[in-house]
Structure 1
Amino acid sequence: MALQLIQTLAVVIGVAFGLAQLRQLSHQREVQAGLQLLAPLQTPDSAETMLLIHGLPENLTGAELRQRLGEKFRGTLATLALFESLGPIVARGHVPIEMYAEFYRGPTLLCWRKFRRYIEEERQGGWPMLFEWLQWLAERMEALPQGGNDIPAHQRFSSWKSSKDYPRLSIPRQ
């Protein structure tokens, strides 16, 4: 009887240890994914392109975008393509939507607002799936609760003392 109890206890402890290891592995995967998510859009060229996009008025036609941006038009499309490539990664759950939103909520919404008319024109012209994942991400970003991500980090995390404070401070306030 005592031996059976010890064996059962050993199995329970083994399962608990295994579950803890899986949880730690999942966390490590999220951290790694977050770091990889930063790379393509954290270059000087990407920063310059985002400033160009920010400076554009909304609702420009494709012709107006080409005229305003000239040779930089291709670079702006490359930036939109980066967001497009992140959509399936988020949809598959490889990067949690909350993590994506912390990094790219603003830029995603900005790109969608500035290029929406152009994208819709191109879709009507025969490219129906152009930047479909950018649109999907923008719609997800718009659907997120207002609050946490709309407060600048220097204000939202002003009482931060350690990484243990992160969950409490990152919760969207309503």
Structure 2
Amino acid sequence: MVLVQTIPDGVTASKIEADPRILEAAQSIGIILEGLGYAVFARMVPLNVVDELMGGTVRVAWRKLQRYVEYERERAGSQKTWEWFQWLAEQLDRHSRARTSLTVGAHDAYRDWRP
């Protein structure tokens, strides 16, 4: 995810494909989040758990890779490319109740947590 975070927002697919390390990182993250998105849809993993654990990661990855995904869908002639990754990012935006964010970490949001 470290490499994906370095991708500028709105970068073109050709820029991603020009760097093999970035391309491999993008594909790896996309595949992982694709599976996680489907797991949420199939109710194997609760959305709130994903939101609390890695909601920021999903949102950042989608923001960085959205144009690349759209390009891949156009090139393939299919809307199936990373469909569950997109679905997951959109569901997190629609239904988030997390107390954490990119500016407030769990160590602060849940400082007073008791077992």
Q: Give TM-score, length-normalised by structure 1.
A: 0.59
Equivalent position amino acid for 1:63 in 2: S
How many angstroms apart in 2 are the aligned matches of 1:139 and 1:111? 12
Runs of 4+ in 1 over 4 A off after TM superposition: none
Query: Is residue 2:54 matched to residue 1:101?
Result: no
Deviates more, 1:130-139 or 1:78-87: 78-87
Pair member with larger Rg: 1
Query: RMSD of the alignment, in Å?
Result: 1.6
How many angstroms apart in 2 are the aligned matches of 1:101 and 1:94? 14
Counterpart of 1:44? none
Higher relative contact order (CA 8 A, sep 6+): 2
Cα offset, 1:127, TM superposition? 3.1
Deviates more, 1:80-89 or 1:148-157: 148-157
Counterpart of 1:15? none
Q: For structure 1, list consecutive stretches of 5 or more residues without a partner in the other structure.
A: 1-49, 164-174
Aligned residue for 1:159, secondary structure, equals coil
Bigger proportion of residues as helix: 1
Cα offset, 1:72, TM superposition? 4.0
Query: Is residue 2:110 matched to residue 1:157?
Result: yes
Q: For structure 2, list consecutive stretches of 5 or more residues without a partner in the other structure.
A: none
- CA separation of 1:97/1:145 partners in 2, compared to 1, >3 Å: closer, same or farther? closer
Equivalent position amino acid for 1:137 in 2: L
- CA separation of 1:75/1:53 partners in 2, compared to 1, >3 Å: closer, same or farther? closer
Cα offset, 1:147, TM superposition? 5.6
Equivalent position amino acid for 1:112 in 2: W
Cα offset, 1:71, TM superposition? 3.7
How many angstroms apart in 1 are the aligned matches of 2:55 and 2:111? 21
How many angstroms apart in 2 are the aligned matches of 1:132 and 1:76? 15
The match for 2:15 among 61, 64, 72 is: 64
Equivalent position amino acid for 1:62 in 2: A
How many angstroms apart in 1 are the aligned matches of 2:25 and 2:5? 14
Aligned residue for 2:100, secondary structure, equals helix
Kept in 1: contact 2:16–2:22 (CA 8 A): no
Equivalent position amino acid for 1:114 in 2: K
Cα offset, 1:88, TM superposition? 1.6
- CA separation of 1:64/1:111 partners in 2, compared to 1, >3 Å: closer, same or farther? same
Equivalent position amino acid for 1:116 in 2: Q
Alignment: residue pair count: 112
Aligned residue for 1:94, secondary structure, equals coil
